[in-house]
Amino acid sequence: MAGLLRNLLDPSRIALTVRSTKRTAALNEVARQLDGHPSVLNYAGLYNELLARDRLDTTCLGNEIALPHARTEHVSDLVLAIGRSPAGVHFEKDQQLVRLLFVLGTPKNNPMSYLQVVSVLCKIFKDPANREGLLNAGTPEIFADVLIAAEDKLSAR
């Protein structure tokens, strides 16, 4: 399990100042970072499936975190883009304000990797110190380092 996030995280796909405060626009702003990713076969298809999944059921996890995701044939491998919103994004259906968005695309034929990543992220998010570290990270590199250090700490247990 060690290193799942380390292999997925790319500071160039971590936006620390998501400007949009509306759910769909913010999702677009964060997901757009995956356009051109080598594992994304069809960005428009991935994005449409992210929107469809988000409309179907909540992707809010609480603690100002959402995990929009899609199982799709439009990616060849698991992909991740992250956005942090200083103002917060209003998720109307859930009546929640979200400050951290973790957008995942996973191949339909490999749900296990997705479930492992979600499990690690949820364990990381449980710790208020980790959430605080992510909200205060000054650069995408520091943001990634916070996640990697938290994952390493979990693996050491």
Residue spans per domain, the chain:
4-156
Instruction: Report the distance separating Cα 60 and Cα 31, nearest Å.
Output: 16
Least confident interval from 78-87, 93-102, 146-155? 93-102
Whole-model pTM: value is 0.93
d(CA 150, CA 127): 9
35: amino acid identity, one letter:
D
Is the pLDDT at 43 greater than 90? The verdict is yes
Residue 94 has pLDDT above 80, yes or no: no
Phi (first) and psi of residue 78, to 5 degrees: -60, 135
pLDDT of residue 2: 58
> Is the domain 4-156 a CATH 3.40.50.2020 member?
no
The average pLDDT across 97-109 equals 95
Q: Name the average pLDDT for the chain.
A: 92
Nearest to 125 by CA among 96, 95, 102: 102
Tokens at 45, concatenated: 């298809």
